Structure 1
């Protein structure tokens, strides 16, 4: 983080709840809103707005404030996909993924999964993620907080980095979802007791895979800012290689090692 605050050429698509863009710690953030749902950022009491504002703070809040503010120099496209609660329909999520890719996102942060999937809606999500992969977009997605073993159409997709949440000691939280896909090519990141922005202008402390996912997305945005010539596959490989087998628990995010790997590739 000391090397860069992120570059404006790296655009992060945030598919989440509406964001209270008037928060003082977001005053200098390079944010645009895609879709009519952006007007709902004024609903500061909704769970979806609290969630979206929290995630935005992890990524884009000013450095030196209460929130992590990992990549405030990057550009962002906010796509409000949640209703009153922090959940999205599969159709809405699939459309949002395609739309944010068309709008120029290079990396997509997806901190919450959709409602239950039918075979038809699962196929739509797979097509949207295929579209993102063809356009060189990396997708970082939360594994979920149901304490389950398994995967979903999102976390199984090869363009996606699934993220599980850990405590301060690096142990997975008891309610984080785990699975073979996450264990093989996913990442674990801190997700317990993280403080970020609240829509009321203050801060709030949360835990969960949404938190960990935003931390991973921010780290990848910084790496891409320092090494703009690498593609999405090279970036994924730098943070998840070598692939693990026979484990349900992914490796911890290691930005230092990923940086060294990308530096060697960039020579």
Structure 2
């Protein structure tokens, strides 16, 4: 028992150092990193931000005027009542709110602020499975009991795919189940020992000095004292034991959700939506609840793009004249291809110039319907900005959907794939979680420790390529607002070509300590630069002022 608990403590110390100490190092680099670093300027502010103020100064100097640009945020939902998003949410003026009538005849009733493709008449999908789980279930029904030798030749390719899915699913589920059991047991022990020692010592909060005074001969008390003491000594005396329990509780919930929902082959919430799921081309379903049960992620994304720059609240978003169209298609779990395709089409048909997609997955069984929607967006001149993912993978070699690459071998010309960068230009410049790819990922943008809007008029810092994508979408919206004649392809090219380059900068390859040239991790080899982007746009459009 004691040796197992010692192993628990060692793992706990690793977990705590990653989730507390590591985070503080990102948040407060040497000399302190400003909360709004992602919009600041390298030369003036000594952080690798987007140079947003410099871009606006240039536009003012050139006496450019802006037009409103609609940015569709396909996400988990958005808190449209947030104080810093007032006046920044797209409104469907042709739809009368709450009258139960499809006033604009677009097929969606009361879609005043957008649409929710993962809801139905009786509520919304909250948790959902991963796509890998859904594929495992589907293919197991066909091949699960078949001997390999009896597989027909026409089914061989699909059977081989099933074997890959089966292997991935079983390995991933086993890992998640093991992690869940580990952290669940660890959390219970931490709470137990904390409460036991507080009661024994008659204190409200444990301290290392309290533990040093214990002289009991009770083996359980001594074991608790020794293990808790090790935690304090390793992590630091200023770390509250209750805080450690909270961290562990979060891990329990995360891995519990993986086991109970994401990889649960018996879980299927789709009946809530009420669509004919077998028909990937069905388009009219869902409801008008654009908030959903937890709009934290989508609200954070929206603030980066368009939070009010003129009030004294919270943050300044990047695009001063952008409106957020809310399209809910991402549950707690993997989004479904049918919903993604319909979300894209809804955004295009209702006037979006840019679509931000801060989501992704490794399997896409109905990719053809998503490809068709992307091609439709391209035909209508809509720019698509996609987060590259947070798995520290080279997506030149690993699948990451949705993708600019179509099943027919062609690729979208209106697509930007975005990785996440940090504030400093040292070896930690690239987020250690960020995917990358010299042939597949376009450019990097700020995505580490990004402070933005969260529900109920709050603000928090998040990490992820999910934050880097809206950093890029915000700059794209700035360009399209001030230079409305630019096409989506031109904006894509401008953002890549004007990106800030770093000669001979060596960075850690995400997921390792290996140092590589920053220029080798993306197509452009650069970082989004709003100031240089507007200068390039000005050069391309001289003589075309509105």
TM-score after normalising by structure 1 = 0.87
Structure 1 residue corresponding to 2:351, chosen from 88, 104, 113: 104
| Consecutive unaligned residues in structure 2, runs of 5 or more | 1-51, 92-112, 117-286, 406-411, 502-518
Q: What does residue 165 of structure 1 align with?
A: 420
Structure 2 residue corresponding to 1:133, chosen from 354, 367, 378: 378
Q: Is 2:498–2:528's contact at 8 Å kept on the other side of the alignment?
A: no
1:35 is aligned to 2:115? yes
Q: Is 1:30–1:75's contact at 8 Å kept on the other side of the alignment?
A: yes
CA distance, structure 2, for counterparts of residue 9 and residue 72 of structure 1: 9
Structure 1's consecutive aligned runs of 4 or more residues displaced over 4 angstroms after TM superposition are 4-8
| 1:200 CA displacement | 2.5
The 5 Å alignment of 1:1-267 reads 1-2=52-53, 3=56, 7-32=66-91, 33-36=113-116, 37-39=287-289, 41=291, 43=293, 46=294, 49-63=295-309, 64-83=312-331, 85=332, 87-114=334-361, 116-118=363-365, 121-151=366-396, 152=400, 153-156=402-405, 157-170=412-425, 171-183=429-441, 186-241=442-497, 247-249=520-522, 250-267=525-542
User: Which structure features the higher share of helix residues?
Assistant: 2
Tell me the secondary structure at the aligned position of residue 188 of structure 1.
strand
User: Which structure features the higher share of strand residues?
Assistant: 1
| 1:31 CA displacement | 2.4
Structure possessing the higher radius of gyration over alpha carbons: 2
Tell me the secondary structure at the aligned position of residue 163 of structure 1.
strand
CA distance, structure 2, for counterparts of residue 161 and residue 9 of structure 1: 21
Q: What does residue 166 of structure 2 align with?
A: none
| 1:74 CA displacement | 1.5
**Cα distance 1:107–1:209, how it changes in 2: closer, same or farther (>3 A)?**
same
| Consecutive unaligned residues in structure 1, runs of 5 or more | none
Tell me the secondary structure at the aligned position of residue 126 of structure 1.
helix
TM-score after normalising by structure 2 = 0.44
CA distance, structure 1, for counterparts of residue 460 and residue 372 of structure 2: 36
CA distance, structure 1, for counterparts of residue 498 and residue 306 of structure 2: 30
Tell me the secondary structure at the aligned position of residue 39 of structure 1.
coil
Q: Is 2:80–2:89's contact at 8 Å kept on the other side of the alignment?
A: no
| 1:145 CA displacement | 0.5
**Cα distance 1:109–1:86, how it changes in 2: closer, same or farther (>3 A)?**
farther
| 1:242 CA displacement | 8.2
RMSD: 2.5
Provide the aligned length of Structure 1 versus Structure 2. Answer: 257
| 1:226 CA displacement | 1.2
Q: Which moved more, 1:145-154 or 1:102-111?
A: 145-154
Q: 1:14-53 CA deviation, whole Å, 9 max, x = no partner?
A: 111111111111222232322245425163xx3xx11011
